[in-house]
Structure 1
Amino acid sequence: MPKQKSNSGSKKRFKLTGTGQIKRKHAFHSHILTKKSNKRKANLVKSTLVHESDHARVIALLAK
């Protein structure tokens, strides 16, 4: 039986941290930036962690 392929889009979007959490980037920072405040745009640049309720779903996409 052939190996299962992991989701290629997910490989590019998520990274595992050393403690096993999953890092992700914020959405809404690619275009239509003129109406967004500087504070909001600065916060969208930072990465954050995937919520624990979605953790199993993301792991399933990464490790098939």
Structure 2
Amino acid sequence: MPKMKTHSGAKKRFRLTGTGKLKRRRASRAHYNEWKSSTLTRRLKNDVVVSDADSKKIKKLLAK
């Protein structure tokens, strides 16, 4: 049986923490930040943990 390949799109978007949880970036921070409020952009800057419902699917893409 060959090794399972890592999904290249997923490896750019998700990181595994030391305890095995997945972290992701928040949406709406890539561009058009000039007219967004400072409060919003500060809130969007932090990474968040992926929900349990999605983490099983993403770990499969990451071959973990």
| TM over 0.5, shorter chain | yes
Q: Distance in 2 between matches of 1:60 and 1:4?
A: 9
Where 1:54 maps in the other structure, the secondary structure is helix
TM-score w.r.t. the length of structure 2 is 0.86
Q: TM-score, normalised by structure 1?
A: 0.86
Pairing 1:7-22 to 2, within 5 Å after superposition = 7-22=7-22
Query: Superposed, which structure 2 residues align to 1:1-64 within 5 Å?
Result: 1-63=1-63
Query: Unaligned 5+ residue runs, structure 1?
Result: none
User: Residue by residue, what CA displacement relative to the aligned partner does 1:10-62 show, whole Å, maximum 9, x if unpaired?
Assistant: 11111111111001111111111233211110111111110111011100110
SS in 1 for 2:5: coil
Runs of 4 or more above 2 Å deviation: 1-4
Report the count of equivalent residues: 64
